Structure formats: structure tokens, C-alpha cells
Structure 1
Amino acid sequence: MGEKRGTARVLLECNLSDKTCLVQGEEYAVIIVPALLVGAFLVLLAVILWLFIRGQRSQRQRPGLRGIASMPASRSLTGAAEGCGEKVVMTLTETSVESFLRAVTPSLAKLQVPRDQLSEDLEQIHKGICGTTYRATVISGDPAKPKSVVLKALKEPAGLQEVKDFVGRIQFYQYLGKHQNLVHLEGCCTERLPVYMLLEDVAQGDLLSFLWTCRRDVMTMDGLLYDLTEKQVYHIGKQVLLALEFLQDKHLFHGDVAARNILIQSDLTAKLCGLGLAYEVHAQGAISTARTIPLKWLAPERLLLRPAGIRGDIWSFGILLYEMVTLGAPPYPEVPPPSILQYLQRGKIMKRPSSCTHTMYNIMKSCWHWSEDSRPLPGELRSRLEAATRTADDKAVFQVPELVVPELYAAVAGISTESLSYCYSIL
């Protein structure tokens, strides 16, 4: 107690008898506290600047731009990858493009087609933002034999990233190899610009156009019989499933199975095209968020933006069967495209068309289970189609008296009218 009183007395004496002591104490407080605050602020600022500079350096040291350009939103009708995607803004020299082509061309040596073997007369099929598609003729052999091909030309001028993406699609075809029910690569020209991709030409066109022609009073045209029976629907369906099995074996899936993405030959051989999504999965491991596909063909998990798989193709295959038995009618005709997810969430599916047998409708319904695991795999479904073929009608042809009005079809199907004209897709 005595010590405390002594201390108080000393302080009191300092304040009363020595005013200098009090003034000096206040001066130290005024100087030291702001100095500490300023120092702390400078230290914090230095740390922030160091972290920012470090981040910038690490970004500059990263290797390249993945080697593949962002994928585009595809044409809503075909779902086909038109090529180049979102343009990457880069300052590139022509030499960098030429160097890339010189480096990659040897790996494509077996696919190279001499440019002087390409006919000068080109029939334009489609002109897109990333290039133009033509029907061309390759003249080779001795004696010279002309062969019709579909030529996809990358637009010019093309940046390095666009060239990489285009060549990447050629390499994807090289990886796939040939399958009787997939449109295959005939060759390429990559030694210099412009870069070309040559695809198999299926002159009869797409299945959707074929189905619409079947509605008319046309029996045959260009060697193709425009009559479709139940057994022929199974025949076409089995070929599509064979293509899906092939993709499944390579751990891929199609992503947009629909009549518009199937090409038909005069003997009703079906070839699945529109492989842009399969390329994305192969190159990037996932589907680009920029890509748009007509909603009415998508499985629920795709509508919910969940990871896609081969069983999503099975859902779409059920829609394809509906397209065939109705000769190209749009699915869910009574449902606006933006409302399709809510429609499915209520547990509803399409009703059986009057022209559809109960056997075929049961196959459709097996494709439309909400749960992916409840849907059959391509091989299992193909076995069911083969069994149904044995008792299928091969005499009665499907008939729909109404002709298609393209604008009305586009509105109901949820696609653009401009996309309805047939054009051969790059993938």
C-alpha cells in the first residue's frame, strides 16, 4: 500500500513541479503512434504488391493456351461443331502458324491429298463464321478416277489457335479410325494455308430431310426409296446403336443424337455425323459451356447441367425413334422448348404416336427413364431392337398427310429457321 502511494506521489510531483515531463510524454505519443500505423500500412502494401507481381509472373510462365481454342456454340439444328469457337485474342505472326503446320503435317502424312488432285469446281454447301463447306471432286489414280468428297476449308486469315483447333479435329478423326456407321475422314491438306479437311460424301443427305420427303407422294428419287416401314426403322436404329457402341468403346459419347445428325445412303445405310461434342470430350474432357443444343433432345441430366455420358445418348435415341415413326415431327409438340425440363420433372413423357406399335413404344420408354442407370446401354438396346425386328411389319409404310412448314417446325422444335437447310457438318 505504501509503495502505491509513493508511486502516485512521484507522478504527481512530476506533473506539478516539472511541466517538461508532461510535455515530453505527449510529444512521444504524438510521434510514435502515427509512425507505427504508417509503418504497418507500408508493410501491408509491400506484401500485396509482392503477391500481385508473383501472380503475374506465374501466369506468364504457364505453358501456352491448352493447345485448343474455346469451343463455339454450335448451330442449333445440327449440333455440329462449325469449327473455331471463341476467338482467342493473340498477337501472332504468320511464321508461327507455318511453323506449327510444318511440325504437325508429318504425323498426318498418310492422310495428305495433293492439292492439284482437287477439282477447281467447288459446290458451296454451307458458309459459316469459321469456314466454308464445299462438295468437291478428288481426281487420282491411273486411270484417273473422280471421287466426290465434302471439303471443309478453314477461313482466312486464321490465327494459330484456330489452326490448332482445326487440325485437332483432323487428328481426332485419325484417332477414331473408320466405322461403317460413322462419317469418316477421306484426307486433308495441312502442309500450308489454307487448311482443308476432306470428308466422306453421303449425297442422299440427312435423315430428317429423308423423313420429310417420305410425307410426299414420292416413291423413288436418286435411287432412294422414300417409303419407311417399322422393320426399316429398326434397321436404321440398329446402325446408330452400332456407332454409339463404337464411341462407347473409346470412352466417348455423341451428345446430340437426332435425325438431323444422321446421313442416309440409298440402301438405307445410316452414318452418324455431328461429332463435335465427342471431339470436345476427347480434347478437353468435358462439353463446352458455350455450346447450345436443342433442348427437346437432351436427357434430364444434360438439362440440369450435370456430367453427360453414353446413357444421355440413349435418351436421345428414344427421341430419334419418335422422329422416324412420325416422319420427322418435332418432339413434345405441345410443350414450349423452355418448359421441357419442368415437363420432365413432373414425370411426363411423350405419348405413343398413333403410327407406333406398342413394342416400339416400350423401347422408347426404356430410353426415357429419369435415372441414367435405369436406361439400357447401346449393346443391350441393340439386342432388343434385333428381337423386335423378327416380328416387325415390313409391308405397311408410315404415312403422315401433312407436309412440313419449316418455320412452324423450327418454332416447335426450338431451333433456328436458318439452320433447316441441309448442310453437311464438319464433325
Structure 2
Amino acid sequence: MTQSLGIILSCVLCILCESSIEVDSCLAMGDERGMTRMLLECSSLSDKLCVVQEHQYEIIIVPTFLVGIFLILLGVILWLFIREQRAQQQSSGLRGIAPMPPSRSLSWEAAGHGGSVFVPLKETSVESLLQTTTHALAKLQVPREQLSGVLEHIYNGSCGAIYRTKMYTGDPAKPKSVILKALKEPAGLQEVQDFLGRIQFYQYLGKHKNLVQLEGCCTEELPLYMVLEDVAQGDLLSFLWTCRRDVMTMDGLLYDLTEKQVYYIGKQVLLALEFLQDKHLFHGDVAARNILIQCDLTAKLCGLGLAYEVHTRGAISSTHTVPLKWLAPERLLLRQADIRGDVWSFGILLYEMVTLGAPPYPEVPPTSILQHLQRRKIMKRPSSCTHTMYTLMKSCWRWSEDSRPSVRELHSRLETAARTADDKAVLQVPELVVPELYAAVAGISVESLSYSYSIL
């Protein structure tokens, strides 16, 4: 085969050079009888195309076929390599808690909506850094003597200890209960900068009735304090668990939860999400554990750590983690995050409320949730859930984020559903919750259930 190809190529060169003498020498090098038959079939020696066409299989089709096979094999190898890389990325995130992907279409300037609140790290000492921020935080300063010396320790957060205490304002006889978040000591320059940045983020947000409010701060000297409003009933998840009892008492009044009140709480959460969306932010971890509830069922969204990171850095740090079962598919696949992921999580929140605090996907291990969703499986309708509410849940759980309703559209649908919702039948779940069992099924730590102010 190799010898034949060599002879043919030599002959082609001779023909292209239009040398009849060289053509004769080429013929003498090959099989004389075969070549003579080939030339007799041609009209003349001058018919060079006939000679080339006779061997077009060897000189054109065979090389083309080999190149095609090579390209196909190369494509298969690249596809296998890319699939392996994606599998490694997914497995690195699916360990019960997932790292957060970058935010969608948020640059440094866009995330800050015109300006960053991140304290510039130009100072070389903590004292000089505090001096440079005193003016910016002057309106928020709370004199330390207004804070009671009696501190009730309630949680150890990532930044430091969290206490409940009293703040004395106008009337000393009527102190106000507040949450005091302290920066752990000793704190380095970077920790102080981050703590001040979180205070300024609250200042940038302003006040909203469905967000936990910043009451003030103490940052003129160490130790640093962030003063937040206290919500007496605590987080919504614990409240839902309490509702599982036959009789619930709030401020001495018998209290139960109905379908209409579930819509009432849900609408307030959506108002908070709309507020964040208007500031080009998203929450990133909408769940019952991150909502505080008052006696009149006023809901306040807390846990704004992810929103703070998006605002100050334009993206979420790779170290920030969120329980998998509340995440939208695009978040599990480590794609860019935005408010449409909050819509998915809001559907999970509706499930939590209507089941009085049951963990989502109770039959699915946390590390298998992505494979479960990839098979287009969603949670079944709970027995205590009406078809109207379940339809709202399913609209939040559409695989494509573009197919989900917007926050405002979802709010409108809840308004419509609330008009005909049952306000008499009480939601009932007989089983009491064991926190350790709940944490294992939900894929979160028991410690994270202790108190909701720990995130920010």
C-alpha cells in the first residue's frame, strides 16, 4: 500500500509538471501491465485527469477518512474530559452544604448601586481605622452607658458572642430589649474592617418593616458592638415547631396557625425580597430559620450576610455555605446566583410553613438532592396543603429560572390566593420535632438552629 501510494504521488508530480519523459519513467517504476491498461483506457497521455481519477481512492478518500476518524476520537476525548471536570465540581460542593457561586451580572459598581460601603483598608492600625469611620457612623453611635451591664449570652456567632440586653433611652423605667453583637477579641485589622462594613451595610439599606433593623453601634473604641432590634418570638422555624402543640400561647393568648396566616407571613417575606431586589441585591438563603416573627405575625427577614457580600464585593465568597435542600438547581450546579434562586427557596419556605417546620425532601439524603432534582422530581403535596398553595410551590420549583414567577408576580398571586384561603381550619401536625433528627434530615448543623442573628 505504501509503495503504491509513493508511485502514484510521483506520477502526479510528473503530470503536473507536464513532462512526458518523466511520465514514461514513472510507468516503468510501477506495474507495467496495470499501468498500461490504465493508459489504454485514457484517450491519450495528455489526458492527465484520467490518471489522477484512477487512483483517487488512494490519494484522496483514504486520507480524508483517516482525518475524519482522528477528529471524532479527539471530540470524544474532549467530551469525556469536560464531563469529568463537571463531576468533580459537583462532588466538591455536594457534602450537605454548598459553596456559593458568584452573583449574576453584578460588577463592583453595580452591586453597590452607585457606591461601596466596604471600609477601605488604608489604615495601618485598628485605632486609626476607627478614627476614620467615626464621622461616617456618627448618627448610629449609642453611648455605652445606655447599655445595661447585664448581658444574656444566647449564641456564639462567627464574628463573636451575641447577647440580649437592655438599652435605656428616654424613659429609664422603660428600657428596650435589644440584641448586642460583639466583635470577638483580639481582632485584627481585617476583622475590624469587615465588622464596620456590616454596620455600614445596614446604614445603606435603611429601614424596612420586614427586615431586622439596626438600632445603633458602639465603634469609637474597643470592644465593638452592633445593636440590633430584638424580636421576642424568635425565628419562624422554632415558632412553627411550637405550633405543633395542641394549644399555643403567645402573650397569654391562645394562638394557632391557619392557611390564610401562612399567606400573610409569605407576603411579608416577599416584600422584603422586593426591597432587596430594588437595591440590586438578593438574599441567597431564604428559609424559616432566617425569618424572625413577632406576636402580631409580623415577619422580619434576617441573615443578610450574603447580601452584604454581594454589595461590598460584587460576588459571594467561596467560603460562604448554604444548606443544599433550600438551593435552586442553578445554585447546586455552581452557576451564577440571583433573585430567581430566592423564588425557588420561597417555595421551600411555603412547604416549611404548611407542614409546621418539616424538613424539605425528607426521603432524600442532602448529598443526593441534585440528582433528585435532575430527574425533574419535586416534593409531593403535603396532606395539610391545598391545591392552590401547592400550585404556587410548583411554580417556584420550575427547573429553568426564567420560567419561575418574578417576586412581584408571586406577591400578586399570594394576594389573590389569600382572599379565598381558609382562616378557620388550624394546621395540625401531631409529631413533635427532635432537633438532632431534623438537622440530620435537613442537612444542617444543630448549632445553626440555636439563634438566627448569627449569620450577620
TM-score where L is the length of structure 2: 0.72
Q: How far did residue 405 of structure 1 move?
A: 1.2
Question: Where does residue 367 of structure 1 map in the other structure?
Answer: 396
1:328 aligns with 2:333: no
Question: Where does residue 257 of structure 2 map in the other structure?
Answer: 228
CA distance in 2, matches of 1:112, 1:76: 37
- CA 203–343 in structure 1, closer or farther in 2 if over 3 Å, else same: same
Question: Where does residue 420 of structure 2 map in the other structure?
Answer: 391
Structure 1 letter corresponding to 2:328: A
CA distance in 1, matches of 2:374, 2:455: 34
Question: Where does residue 200 of structure 1 map in the other structure?
Answer: 229
- CA 142–338 in structure 1, closer or farther in 2 if over 3 Å, else same: closer
Residue by residue, what CA displacement relative to the aligned partner does 1:363-403 show, whole Å, maximum 9, x if unpaired? 00000011111111111100000000110000001100111
Q: Does the 8 Å contact 1:254/1:313 carry over to 2?
A: yes
Q: Does the 8 Å contact 1:152/1:426 carry over to 2?
A: no
Residue number among 374, 380, 395 corresponding to 2:409 in the alignment: 380
Q: Does the 8 Å contact 2:155/2:450 carry over to 1?
A: no
Q: How far did residue 221 of structure 1 move?
A: 3.1
CA distance in 2, matches of 1:357, 1:323: 14
Q: How far did residue 142 of structure 1 move?
A: 5.1
CA distance in 2, matches of 1:397, 1:186: 36
Q: Does the 8 Å contact 2:286/2:345 carry over to 1?
A: yes
Q: How far did residue 357 of structure 1 move?
A: 0.4
User: Any stretches of 5+ residues in structure 2 without a counterpart?
Assistant: 1-95, 101-120
Question: Where does residue 251 of structure 1 map in the other structure?
Answer: 280
Where in structure 2 are the equivalents of 1:158-177 lying within 5 Å? Answer: 158-177=187-206
Q: How far did residue 135 of structure 1 move?
A: 0.4
- CA 129–229 in structure 1, closer or farther in 2 if over 3 Å, else same: closer
CA distance in 1, matches of 2:348, 2:282: 16
1:237 aligns with 2:294: no
Question: Where does residue 274 of structure 1 map in the other structure?
Answer: 303
CA distance in 2, matches of 1:425, 1:179: 20
3-state SS in 1 of match to 2:297: coil
Question: Where does residue 29 of structure 1 map in the other structure?
Answer: none
3-state SS in 2 of match to 1:164: helix
How many pairs were matched up?
339
CA distance in 2, matches of 1:103, 1:144: 36
TM-score where L is the length of structure 1: 0.77
Where in structure 2 are the equivalents of 1:174-193 lying within 5 Å? Answer: 174-193=203-222
Residue number among 328, 343, 360 corresponding to 1:314 in the alignment: 343
Structure 2 letter corresponding to 1:174: Q
Q: Does the 8 Å contact 2:398/2:404 carry over to 1?
A: yes
CA distance in 2, matches of 1:224, 1:76: 39
Percent identity between the aligned chains? 83
3-state SS in 1 of match to 2:165: strand
Structure 2 letter corresponding to 1:124: H
3-state SS in 2 of match to 1:242: helix
> Which entry has the higher C-alpha Rg, 1 or 2?
2
Residue number among 318, 334, 348 corresponding to 1:305 in the alignment: 334
Residue number among 343, 348, 356 corresponding to 2:377 in the alignment: 348
- CA 312–423 in structure 1, closer or farther in 2 if over 3 Å, else same: closer
Q: Does the 8 Å contact 1:209/1:422 carry over to 2?
A: no
Q: Does the 8 Å contact 2:157/2:455 carry over to 1?
A: no
Q: How far did residue 168 of structure 1 move?
A: 0.2
Residue number among 170, 177, 191 corresponding to 1:148 in the alignment: 177
Q: Does the 8 Å contact 1:153/1:196 carry over to 2?
A: yes
Residue by residue, what CA displacement relative to the aligned partner does 1:46-98 show, whole Å, maximum 9, x if unpaired? xxxxxxxxxxxxxxxxxxxxxxxxxxxxx979x9xxxxxxxxxxxx9x97101
Q: Does the 8 Å contact 1:149/1:201 carry over to 2?
A: yes
Structure 2 letter corresponding to 1:346: R
1:126 aligns with 2:145: no
Q: How far did residue 422 of structure 1 move?
A: 3.2
Q: Does the 8 Å contact 2:232/2:295 carry over to 1?
A: no
Q: How far did residue 225 of structure 1 move?
A: 4.8
Question: Where does residue 245 of structure 2 map in the other structure?
Answer: 216
Greater shift after overlay, 141-150 or 385-394?
A: 141-150
Residue number among 440, 444, 448 corresponding to 1:411 in the alignment: 440
Residue by residue, what CA displacement relative to the aligned partner does 1:324-354 show, whole Å, maximum 9, x if unpaired? 0100000001100000000000111111001
Structure 2 letter corresponding to 1:291: H
Question: Where does residue 100 of structure 1 map in the other structure?
Answer: 129
Question: Where does residue 288 of structure 1 map in the other structure?
Answer: 317
- CA 380–287 in structure 1, closer or farther in 2 if over 3 Å, else same: same
Give RMSD over aligned pairs.
1.9
Q: How far did residue 417 of structure 1 move?
A: 2.0
User: Which aligned runs of 4 or more in structure 1 are off by greater than 4 angstroms?
Assistant: none
- CA 156–296 in structure 1, closer or farther in 2 if over 3 Å, else same: same
- CA 372–351 in structure 1, closer or farther in 2 if over 3 Å, else same: same
Question: Where does residue 262 of structure 1 map in the other structure?
Answer: 291
Residue by residue, what CA displacement relative to the aligned partner does 1:120-172 show, whole Å, maximum 9, x if unpaired? 00001112353100001111225664111100000111101000000000000
Structure 2 letter corresponding to 1:125: I
Q: Does the 8 Å contact 1:223/1:266 carry over to 2?
A: no
Q: How far did residue 419 of structure 1 move?
A: 2.4
Q: Does the 8 Å contact 1:294/1:415 carry over to 2?
A: yes
CA distance in 1, matches of 2:253, 2:437: 27
